[in-house]
Amino acid sequence: MGQQALSNLTVIDLGDFVSAPYCAKLLADMGAKVIKIEDPHGGDSARRSGPFLGDVPNPERSGLFLYLNTNKVGITLNVKSRTGLNILKDLLKTADILVENGPPGKMRQLGLDYHTLWTFNPRLIMTSITPFGQTGPYRDYKSADLISFHMGGRGYTTPPQVQDITRDRPLKAGGRQADFLAGLTGATATMIAVMARRLTGRGQHVDVSEQEVVGMLMQSTTPLYTYAGRIVKRSEMVLAGAVALIPCKDGYVCLEPMLDHQWQALAEVMGNPQWAVGEMCRGRPARTRNWDAILDLMAQWAAVHTMEEISGAAQAKRVPGMPVNTVKDLLYSDQLLARGFFADIDHRATGLLRYPGSPYAFSGMSRDLVHPAPMLGQHNEEVLCGQLGWPKQELAALRRAGIV
């Protein structure tokens, strides 16, 4: 097992909630040394967002916070105070990367705009993740995951195939997909800047827009407008003849018998009933026309079979078909368990819990997430005294002054 890929990088995480902390987590989980800086009064707002262990709100027991901050070292610092700001600057002097997601202009207010930072660390890369980026007419707009997802274009046609377009409003995806995608893209762009630094020796400011990040999901969809002048609606049967999301005995399954040979194989799985091999299903255009009726017939067949039976039989004939897994199904998935996807992490405030793991497996590296998220201010002494050389008695004074 070799060293982790990013173990020679030091990152200062000034982020809050999801996007920037997720960016820093991805770097931390790959071995970067990440120092998370939280406000002494309450810390990261993800600490106040659920789910909480036992449903009891507790800043050390937020599942969202715990997941987003694995493998980080955590300190508290009031960066609005002169002393706090100087401590942050000391940390930035030797850092490779600063990640933040404050509104545009906030870093300047703190006296930490990129050009100032550059004067004392020209190798520093500063990554700013915001809803709409650092420039342009919407740069100061306020947003939320909901709005970024919809303004990036992916919400308008979600969910597909609604019956009543005036009643069935556009939806966001489950979870906080825009925020997480922005974190992932922020980490990607940060690594681009790290590669650039190898060529030029200097750092730079990386500006990531969450709206544009969601826009990346649209690249195979926009041609419907840019080539065909169409505005796709939620009511259109875009999945007709291709995607069957149907109830079965113990849940739902998703089958995609898009091609003729896949449909024929699926018909065989269903025991070649008359309807499936007859005129109604002959060729994709016929299936597309009759899809509603076909879905009903498929659902009748599926009603007596389980998700695993149906997807297993479909896969045995190379038909794309998988269960609509709930989180419970996923935590018992033989596939995910065999791959070691989940991570079991022991945190002082929660005990051992199972977390989602890294979204990739590197042959030369361990997939395990080793260290739990920091408690609020857990590493103050280690970082301030151990790394920056503050005497221990002054740390006590800094605490009394509300700086850490």
Partner 1 sequence: MKGVSALGREPLPLNGIRITDFSWALAGPLCTQLLGAMGAEVIKIETSKRLDALRGAEPFADGVPGPNRSGRFNNLNLCKKGCTLDLTKPEAVELVNGLIKLSDVVIENFAFGVMARLGLGHETVLKIRPDLIYVSSSGLGAAGPKKHHVAFGNTVHAFSGLTALTGYYQGPPRGIGGTFSDPLTGITAAFAILAALHHRADTGLGQFVDLSMAEATLAQLPEAVMDYTMNGRVRGCEGNRDGSMAPHNTYPTRGEDEWVCIAVSSEEEWKSLCRAMGSPSWAAEDKFSDMFRRLQHQDELDSLIGEWTSSFSSREITDMLQKAGVPAGPSSNLEQFVTDPHLRARGYLFELDHPEAGRRTVSGLPWKLSHCPEPAYWPAPMLGEHNGYVFQELLGLAGDRVAELTASGVIC
Q: Which of residues 25-64 bind partner 1 (CB under 8 A)?
A: 26, 30, 49-55, 61, 63-64
* Residue 46 phi, psi (nearest 5): -60, -25
- Count CB-CB contacts under 10 A for residue 223: 11
Tell me the closest approach of the beta carbon of residue 352 to partner 1, in angstroms: 10
What is the distance between the alpha carbons of residues 341 and 52, in angstroms, rounded to a whole number?
22
Q: Which stretch binds partner 1 (CB under 8 A): 99-107, 252-260, 289-297, 381-389?
A: 252-260
Q: Which stretch binds partner 1 (CB under 8 A): 34-42, 84-92, 142-150, 280-288?
A: 142-150
| Residue 174 binds partner 1 (CB under 8 A) | yes
What is the distance between the alpha carbons of residues 344 and 223, in angstroms, rounded to a whole number?
43
- For partner 1, which is the closer residue by CB, 301 or 355? 355
- How far, in Å, are 257, 276, 285, 322 from residue 319 at the CA level? 6, 15, 19, 9
What is the distance between the alpha carbons of residues 89 and 224, in angstroms, rounded to a whole number?
49
385, amino acid identity? C
- For partner 1, which is the closer residue by CB, 71 or 76? 71
Tell me the closest approach of the beta carbon of residue 2 to partner 1, in angstroms: 6
Tell me the closest approach of the beta carbon of residue 386 to partner 1, in angstroms: 25
- For partner 1, which is the closer residue by CB, 40 or 183? 183
What is the distance between the alpha carbons of residues 218 and 237, in angstroms, rounded to a whole number?
18
- Tokens encoding 131: 């809803």
The residue from 331, 370, 396, 397 that contacts partner 1 (CB under 8 A) is: 331
| Residue 319 binds partner 1 (CB under 8 A) | yes
Residues 70-89 that bind partner 1 (CB under 8 A): none
- For partner 1, which is the closer residue by CB, 238 or 375? 238
Residue 200 half-sphere exposure, CB side, CA atoms within 13 Å? 13
The residue from 169, 261, 282, 348 that contacts partner 1 (CB under 8 A) is: 169
The residue from 10, 83, 121, 158 that contacts partner 1 (CB under 8 A) is: 158
The residues near 384 (Cβ < 8 Å, ≥ 6 apart) are 75, 87, 390, 395, 398, 404
The residue from 271, 334, 393, 400 that contacts partner 1 (CB under 8 A) is: 334
- For partner 1, which is the closer residue by CB, 301 or 341? 341
Q: Which stretch binds partner 1 (CB under 8 A): 33-41, 251-259, 286-294, 371-379?
A: 251-259
DSSP 355: E
DSSP 236: S
Q: Give the strand order in the sheet containing 251-255.
A: 244-248, 251-255, 321-323
Tell me the closest approach of the beta carbon of residue 184 to partner 1, in angstroms: 6
Interaxial angle between packed helices 260-269 and 307-316, expressed in degrees from 0 to 180 and rounded to the nearest 10: 130
Residues 347-366 that bind partner 1 (CB under 8 A): 350, 353-364
Beta pairing partners, 98: 12, 126
| Residue 298 binds partner 1 (CB under 8 A) | no
The residue from 249, 326, 346, 397 that contacts partner 1 (CB under 8 A) is: 326
What is the distance between the alpha carbons of residues 95 and 84, in angstroms, rounded to a whole number?
17
Tell me the closest approach of the beta carbon of residue 263 to partner 1, in angstroms: 14
- Tokens encoding 342: 């989940």
Tell me the closest approach of the beta carbon of residue 161 to partner 1, in angstroms: 8
| Residue 295 binds partner 1 (CB under 8 A) | no
Residues 363-382 that bind partner 1 (CB under 8 A): 363-364
- For partner 1, which is the closer residue by CB, 251 or 381? 251
DSSP 265: H
Displacement of CA 370 from its chain's centroid (Å): 20
What is the distance between the alpha carbons of residues 341 and 319, in angstroms, rounded to a whole number?
25
**390, containing H or E segment:** none
Using an 8 Å Cβ cutoff, are 245 and 291 in contact?
A: no
User: What would the x/- binding string for partner 1 be over residues 177 to 216, using CB under 8 A?
Assistant: x--xx--xxxxxx-xxxxxx-xxx-x-xxxxxx-xxx-xx
| Residue 170 binds partner 1 (CB under 8 A) | yes
